[in-house]
Chains A and B, each alone.
Chain A
Amino acid sequence: MSQRVQVNPITCEAHGMCAELLPERITLDEWGYPLVDDTPLHGSEVEHAIRAARACPTFALLVQRDRAPRGGRVRTRSG
């Protein structure tokens, strides 16, 4: 059961907090929107990712848990 970060592009307003708090996963494009590495998080990264999600002013950063091993339902949690 792995977890990954995802951005809701509709609610994201390019505050850039996520890139500050999770630089190992997130960089910003030339307009300030996050470019996300959404491969599964390593164990130690999960806490960082959740902290970054909680810090997002528009709750646009999501830490997703893959519930079923193959393409099953996905549970979303925001900070």
Chain B
Amino acid sequence: MSTPQTTMTELLPAREGAAAAPPALPRLLAGIRAEGAMTHAEHVELHGALPLAGARRRRGRGDAGRLLEEIDRAGLTGRGGASFPTARKIRAVAGARGRAIVVANAAEGEPASLKDRTLVETLPHLVLDGGLLAAEAVGADELIVCVCETAGAGVEAMELAIGERAAELGDTRQAPKVSLVSVPSHYVAGQETALLQYLGGGPAKPTFTPPMPFEQGLRRRPTLVNNAETLGHIALIARHGASWFRELGTPSQPGSTLVTLSGPVAHPGVYEIENGASLSSLIEASGGTTARVRGVLLGGYAGAWIGGELVPALALSQEHLAPHGATLGAGIVVLLSDAACPVAETARVARWMADQSAHQCGPCIHGLDALAGTLAQIATGTAEGNATKRVERLSSLTVRRGACAHPDGAVNLILSALEVFEADFADHARHGSCEACDRAPELPLPLRPVSDAPGGPRPRR
């Protein structure tokens, strides 16, 4: 995988058949094509019509609806990385004062993730369905779909899809106004408050909370920001119910999830797995490894390293990963081959994460910069004194001191690298660069963001 833009999306074979008997897997990715988006007609044929409550009732206390109860019973959690219970979030927005707004978040600033881009490019109607259902659940009159500006095909597909739905939406009384906005590609742009500040005409940078988006979000209205994949699951739960959703996954983490797998495998790309599936089965589905695996980066660049020797034993569930200090985050699995240098790779990503700071909070600006600098010194053997100690001290000065979790994520990655690749770090600190340091980077990093200095939003419709 070189850059996300050029990576092919490997697709699981679609099951024949229609909505009556929803297949075990794939769920979200059912009917996906290698290229191009599923049309609305195809989408309806596969999944059935959008089950809106029909006669829209006024939003009232006990009326956030049956759907909300189903989502709650399904145990759906947010797929943007934070895994917050979706029903609780919807309920908070529904219960807040004022007319709500729904934002479908496919900003996906994480270089190692492709799932949201894949969804909007190939299955835009699934995301729209979920957005419209969520809008109904919270009584919103607006649905704003946010797609990363570098996902050109995704922006186009979503624009077409919204057009296809225009007639249908026009028919529904009080249907929400649906719009599409392409958002900057930098790392923190997809963070909830950054996205909302951008939609409000400001820079795509996080804001200080409280107030939280659910109470005062866009234009000071209660705002529900859901990840594109989360909305896709809502679209299917509305059709098939909570019990169906829970047929897959673990009791504490039901359902399926999209995972972006990259590194030395035959077919890197986006896969839909059952929560709790083994990492080995995912690797097998991708055609197997093409090199020995030195380490696994789970959860992306705000995630954690795990030693390659653990690959056969790893199950991709929260319970299994927690003891390793890891989560799947937004469903990101990056394998590092044993030809790569984990020290150089981590130092490179740490520098990129420092550069991706919104440069608003002092501890994030200075802390991440100092950490990246120290890692670069370790990698080249030019660090003075006990560099590992310094990394640990800088980390403690950096975590939980920003307005958002960006510094926390970067520190998480760095500290896990120090632990998993302890011997390599010690070796580099003593002897300097190794031969593998000069190899082409394995971990994907965008060359440069399309827009470095985001201004106001550019509405597409």
A residues with CB within 8 A of B: 8-14, 29-33, 35, 73-74, 76
Looking at the complex, which one of A9, A32, A35, A74 makes contact with B360 (CB distance below 8 Å)? A9
Q: Closest 6 CB pairs between A and B?
A: A9-B361, A33-B362, A31-B366, A10-B360, A8-B208, A10-B403
B207 at the interface (CB under 8 A from A): yes
| Residues of A close to B363: CB separation below 8 A | 9, 29, 31, 33
Query: What is the CA–CA distance of A5 and B414 in the complex, to the nearest angstrom?
Result: 30
Interface contacts (Cβ under 8 Å), in number, total: 39
Known: A8-B208, A9-B363. 7 other contacts (CB 8 A): A9-B360, A9-B361, A10-B208, A31-B362, A31-B363, A74-B210, A76-B210
Looking at the complex, which one of A30, A33, A76 makes contact with B401 (CB distance below 8 Å)? A33
The B17-75 residues at the A interface (CB cut-off 8 A) are none
A–B pairs, 28, beta carbons within 8 Å? A8-B208, A8-B403, A9-B360, A9-B361, A9-B362, A9-B363, A9-B364, A9-B403, A10-B206, A10-B207, A10-B360, A10-B361, A10-B403, A11-B208, A12-B362, A14-B362, A29-B363, A29-B397, A30-B366, A30-B397, A31-B367, A33-B362, A33-B363, A33-B401, A35-B397, A73-B210, A74-B210, A76-B210
User: How close is A11's CB to chain B, nearest CB, in angstroms?
Assistant: 7
Nearest-neighbor residue (CB-CB) of B206 within chain A = A10
User: How close is A13's CB to chain B, nearest CB, in angstroms?
Assistant: 8
**Are the C-beta atoms of A12 and B361 separated by less than 8 Å?**
yes
Nearest-neighbor residue (CB-CB) of B398 within chain A = A29
Looking at the complex, which one of A9, A14, A31 makes contact with B208 (CB distance below 8 Å)? A9
| Residues of B close to A74: CB separation below 8 A | 210
Query: What is the CA–CA distance of A14 and B365 in the complex, to the nearest angstrom?
Result: 12
- Size of B's binding interface in residues, CB under 8 A: 15
Query: What is the CA–CA distance of A71 and B362 in the complex, to the nearest angstrom?
Result: 28
B residues with CB within 8 A of A: 206-208, 210, 360-364, 366-367, 397, 401-403
What secondary structure prevails in chain A residues at the interface with B? loop
| Residues of A close to B208: CB separation below 8 A | 8-11
| Residues of A close to B206: CB separation below 8 A | 10
User: How close is A79's CB to chain B, nearest CB, in angstroms?
Assistant: 16
Query: What is the CA–CA distance of A53 and B185 in the complex, to the nearest angstrom?
Result: 36
Query: What is the CA–CA distance of A32 and B362 in the complex, to the nearest angstrom?
Result: 9
Nearest-neighbor residue (CB-CB) of B402 within chain A = A9
Query: What is the CA–CA distance of A23 and B343 in the complex, to the nearest angstrom?
Result: 40
| Residues of B close to A9: CB separation below 8 A | 208, 360-364, 401-403
Query: What is the CA–CA distance of A67 and B361 in the complex, to the nearest angstrom?
Result: 27
Query: What is the CA–CA distance of A73 and B96 in the complex, to the nearest angstrom?
Result: 12
User: How close is A53's CB to chain B, nearest CB, in angstroms?
Assistant: 15
| Residues of B close to A33: CB separation below 8 A | 362-363, 366, 401
Nearest-neighbor residue (CB-CB) of B361 within chain A = A9
User: How close is B412's CB to chain A, nearest CB, in angstroms?
Assistant: 18
| Residues of B close to A13: CB separation below 8 A | 362
Nearest-neighbor residue (CB-CB) of A60 within chain B = B208
Nearest-neighbor residue (CB-CB) of A31 within chain B = B366
| Residues of B close to A32: CB separation below 8 A | 362
Nearest-neighbor residue (CB-CB) of A76 within chain B = B210
| Residues of B close to A14: CB separation below 8 A | 362
Nearest-neighbor residue (CB-CB) of A74 within chain B = B210
Query: What is the CA–CA distance of A77 and B318 in the complex, to the nearest angstrom?
Result: 38
| Residues of A close to B362: CB separation below 8 A | 9, 12-14, 31-33
| Residues of A close to B360: CB separation below 8 A | 9-10
| Residues of A close to B403: CB separation below 8 A | 8-10
Query: What is the CA–CA distance of A9 and B408 in the complex, to the nearest angstrom?
Result: 14
Nearest-neighbor residue (CB-CB) of B210 within chain A = A74
| Residues of B close to A10: CB separation below 8 A | 206-208, 360-361, 403
User: How close is B209's CB to chain A, nearest CB, in angstroms?
Assistant: 10
User: How close is B395's CB to chain A, nearest CB, in angstroms?
Assistant: 13
Query: What is the CA–CA distance of A29 and B210 in the complex, to the nearest angstrom?
Result: 25
User: How close is B365's CB to chain A, nearest CB, in angstroms?
Assistant: 8
| Residues of A close to B364: CB separation below 8 A | 9
Nearest-neighbor residue (CB-CB) of B369 within chain A = A31
Query: What is the CA–CA distance of A29 and B361 in the complex, to the nearest angstrom?
Result: 13
| Residues of B close to A76: CB separation below 8 A | 210
| Residues of A close to B397: CB separation below 8 A | 29-30, 35
Query: What is the CA–CA distance of A31 and B362 in the complex, to the nearest angstrom?
Result: 8
Query: What is the CA–CA distance of A74 and B361 in the complex, to the nearest angstrom?
Result: 22
| Residues of A close to B361: CB separation below 8 A | 9-10, 12
